Amino acid sequence: MPTVDASPVPFNFALDRTALLVIDMQRDFLLPGGFGESLGNDVAQLRRTIGPLTSLMAAWRAAGLPIIHTREGHEPDLSDCPPAKLARGPMIGKPGRFGRILVRGEYGHDIIDELQPIDGEPVVDKPGKGAFYATELPELLDKDGIESLVVTGVTTEVCVHTTVREANDRGYECLVLADCVGSYFPEFQRVGLQMIAAQGGIFGWVAESPALIKEIAR
């Protein structure tokens, strides 16, 4: 069984029961001039994950292991956007540089070119922060007998954290890769990762992608 050097302790996993989850690597969040940057955020803090994720996904695919992508966004009529979310995010559905913001089917809603899914890799569209709420993710994982998740994507303290907490409550073991998750705020990145591995791994494990790539390449 592969073992990855991780915090708080090494992470053991079965290759045939592990999936790579790539959360919300969307143009709206990562492209210069897009929605994320329009809010005053430094998209370079998220874009630093692209290189490590590219290498990880290549190794994962070479090993024939499953990858699941997610995208946060809503139906064009915003019928699946809770009123409270829209009240705090009135820009949702409004025109942006890359189309209507966080609306399915728009250019900005889709995954960045560097990390586009290939044939056979599911893309889960989610209306909330977590990947389990109101999505088909549980059925996809159950179908493949998945017990462990390698979690990557953005942002660390929001959609990544929410998904890891949801997964933890459902009995999945989660390995979060520090160089493959990102936050606009360096302090949130640091503390968010510490929270996952705190108290003996209260939500999961934290490692760096080269350690995992080394194991799956054996």
Per-residue pLDDT tens, the chain, 218 aa: give them. Answer: 899 999 999 999 999 999 999 999 999 999 999 999 999 999 999 999 999 999 999 999 999 999 999 999 999 999 999 999 999 999 999 999 999 999 999 999 999 999 999 999 999 999 999 999 999 999 999 999 999 999 999 999 999 999 999 999 999 999 999 999 999 999 999 999 999 999 999 999 999 999 999 999 88
Does the residue 168 lie in any domain?
yes
> 188: domain range?
3-31+40-73+112-216
Q: Choosing from 28, 81, 110, 159, which is the catalytic residue?
A: 159
C-alpha distances out from residue 150 to 156, 173, 213, Å? 14, 9, 12
Distance (Å, whole) CA 153 – CA 157: 11
Q: Choosing from 28, 81, 110, 126, which is the catalytic residue?
A: 126
Does the residue 69 lie in any domain?
yes
Does the residue 142 lie in any domain?
yes
The yes-or-no answer on residue 125 being catalytic is: no
- For 167-200, letters b (16+ CB in 10 Å) and e give bbeeebbbbbbbbbbbbbbeebbeebbebbbeee
- Pairing outcome for strands 67-72 and 123-126: parallel
pLDDT of residue 36: 97
C-alpha distances out from residue 95 to 28, 35, 37, 73, 92, Å? 12, 10, 15, 14, 9
Q: Choosing from 24, 28, 110, 125, which is the catalytic residue?
A: 24
**Residue 77 buriedness (CB in 10 A; 0-12 / 13-18 / 19+):** exposed
Does the residue 175 lie in any domain?
yes
Rg (CA), the chain: 16
Does the residue 57 lie in any domain?
yes
Does the residue 84 lie in any domain?
no
Does the residue 173 lie in any domain?
yes
Report if pTM > 0.95: yes
Tell me which residue of 86, 125, 135 sits closest to 105, measured CA to CA: 125
Contact 59, 11 (CB under 8 A): no
Can you give the CATH number for the domain in which 50 is found? 3.40.50.850
The two three-digit tokens of residue 44, written as one number = 């370079």
Distance (Å, whole) CA 174 – CA 106: 31
Q: Please identify which residue in the block is written with the tokens 């493949």.
A: 144
Structurally, the chain folds into a number of domains equal to 1
The yes-or-no answer on residue 159 being catalytic is: yes
The yes-or-no answer on residue 126 being catalytic is: yes
pLDDT of residue 26: 98
pLDDT of residue 1: 86
Write the DSSP string, 77-134: T-TTS-HHHHHH-TTTTSEETTEETTBTTSGGGSBPGGG---TT--EEEESSSSSSTT
